[in-house]
């Protein structure tokens, strides 16, 4: 019998045996082993979908880090409304590679954004995480004091974590024209004022994202040489695009670019892994079964399915404790109110 490179490949290598003839709920071997043990200190950051991963890590007994807990006496709802307990620190949604890199640089004292505070209705907001304070603060000074404390928490988190699970969400961002500081939302949406002379739109490209993530990895390993990263790409499409194109096409650009960067980083660095939550939720054999009727947000069945594969790839975790799932908190969804009709 003729030998050829495909002759000895396992069933997962063939579409017919791995996908076409299987029920979608029975897909196997989607991810290689993920280096994550129950003893690892795990932190999460990223877009909305990263919140699901954090919730599930906590429910399964992982050493899930919370470097910035809510003040004593606050209820669970109050804490979440004010940005506590959503990710491993109170940074809100980190949608882009640029945000992640600049946050780490700022936490390590290597950059100070020129515009850090936005105003709205006489109240002051942290422009780098405007959603965490729904009513802002009484003074700019209060915002900056809380930001300093936040940055100290982030610095501690980066130094102490074993694994950072980062979910890449968007390529589109708004940045300050002066120093290139990337913001999670456009000025003027949650707070601040949009001034075209001070802010501009940027749709990050592959080389920029790759460079951002490479620089972030270098910073992380500088203060924490053993740190590892697990990268995922959010399967949640864009709420809106400022690119001038159709939002569906813009979503495809964004996700495919992020996916390519994540794959290359995982390929090139032993300490970086890629977990295919994007593919599990958004691939066409799933027939959109894991999306809510808005065809954007992911339903609970989808989250469960992703996490089942995740914990199959990361051995040693117990079953999830029964908990009531929290609705994810997403800054980007606030753009929905600007949709016509």
Question: What residues make contact with another protein under the rule CB under 8 A?
Answer: 20, 23-25, 71, 74, 78, 81-82, 120-123, 133-139, 142, 145-146, 148-149, 287-293, 299-302
Q: Minimum CB separation from another protein for residue 316, in Å?
A: 27
User: 298: part of which helix (H) or strand (E)?
Assistant: none
> CA 235, CA 108: separation in Å to the nearest integer?
31
Question: Nearer to another protein by C-beta: 149 or 246?
Answer: 149
Residue nearer to another protein on the CB measure, 138 or 249: 138
* Order of all β-strands in the sheet with 63-64: 63-64, 41-46, 163-168, 228-233, 272-274
Q: Closest approach of Cβ 327 to another protein, in Å? A: 16
State in angstroms the smallest separation of the CB of 80 from another protein: 12
**Dist. CA 50–CA 94, nearest whole Å:** 10
User: Which is closer to another protein, CB of 224 or CB of 299?
Assistant: 299
With vertex at residue 241, the alpha carbon angle to CA 240 and CA 247, rounded to the nearest 5 degrees, is 80
Nearer to another protein, 46 or 136 (CB): 136
Please name the residues in contact with 63: beta carbons below 8 A apart, sequence gap of 6 or more. 38, 39, 40, 41, 42
Query: For residues 64 and 105, what is the distance between their CA atoms, to the nearest angstrom?
Result: 23
Q: How far is the CB of 25 from another protein (least distance, A)?
A: 5
Judged by CB, which is closer to another protein: 72, or 270?
Answer: 72
Residue in the block written with tokens 């799932």: 325
Q: How far is the CB of 140 from another protein (least distance, A)?
A: 11
């Amino acid at each position: 019998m003729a030998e050829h490179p495909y002759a000895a490949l396992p069933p997962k290598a063939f579409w017919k045996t791995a996908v076409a003839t299987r029920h979608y709920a029975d897909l196997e071997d989607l991810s290689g082993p993920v280096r994550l043990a129950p003893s690892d200190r795990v932190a999460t950051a990223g877009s909305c979908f990263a919140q699901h991963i954090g919730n599930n890590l906590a429910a399964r007994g992982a050493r899930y880090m919370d470097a910035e807990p809510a003040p004593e006496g606050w209820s669970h709802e109050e804490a979440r409304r004010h940005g506590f307990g959503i990710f491993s620190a109170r940074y809100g949604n980190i949608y882009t590679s640029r945000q992640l890199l600049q946050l780490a640089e700022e936490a390590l004292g290597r950059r100070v954004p020129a515009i850090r505070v936005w105003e709205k209705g006489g109240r002051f907001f942290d422009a780098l995480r405007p959603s965490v304070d729904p009513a802002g603060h009484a003074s700019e000074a209060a915002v900056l004091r809380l930001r300093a404390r936040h940055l100290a928490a982030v610095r501690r988190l980066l130094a102490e974590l074993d694994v950072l699970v980062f979910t890449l969400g968007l390529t589109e961002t708004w940045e300050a024209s002066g120093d290139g500081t990337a913001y999670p939302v456009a000025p003027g949406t949650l707070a601040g004022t949009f001034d075209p002379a001070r802010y501009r739109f940027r749709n990050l490209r592959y080389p920029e994202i790759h460079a951002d993530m490479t620089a972030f990895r270098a910073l992380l390993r500088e203060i924490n040489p053993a740190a590892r990263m697990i990268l995922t790409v959010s399967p949640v499409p864009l709420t809106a695009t400022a690119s001038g194109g159709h939002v569906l096409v813009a979503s495809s650009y964004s996700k495919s670019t992020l996916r390519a960067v994540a794959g290359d980083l995982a390929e090139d660095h032993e300490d970086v892994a890629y977990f295919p939550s994007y593919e599990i939720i958004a691939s066409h054999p799933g027939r959109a079964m894991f999306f809510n009727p808005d065809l954007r947000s992911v339903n609970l069945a989808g989250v469960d399915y992703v996490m089942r594969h995740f914990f199959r790839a990361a051995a040693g975790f117990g079953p999830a404790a029964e908990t009531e799932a929290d609705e994810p908190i997403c800054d980007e969804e606030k753009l929905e109110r600007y949709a016509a009709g």
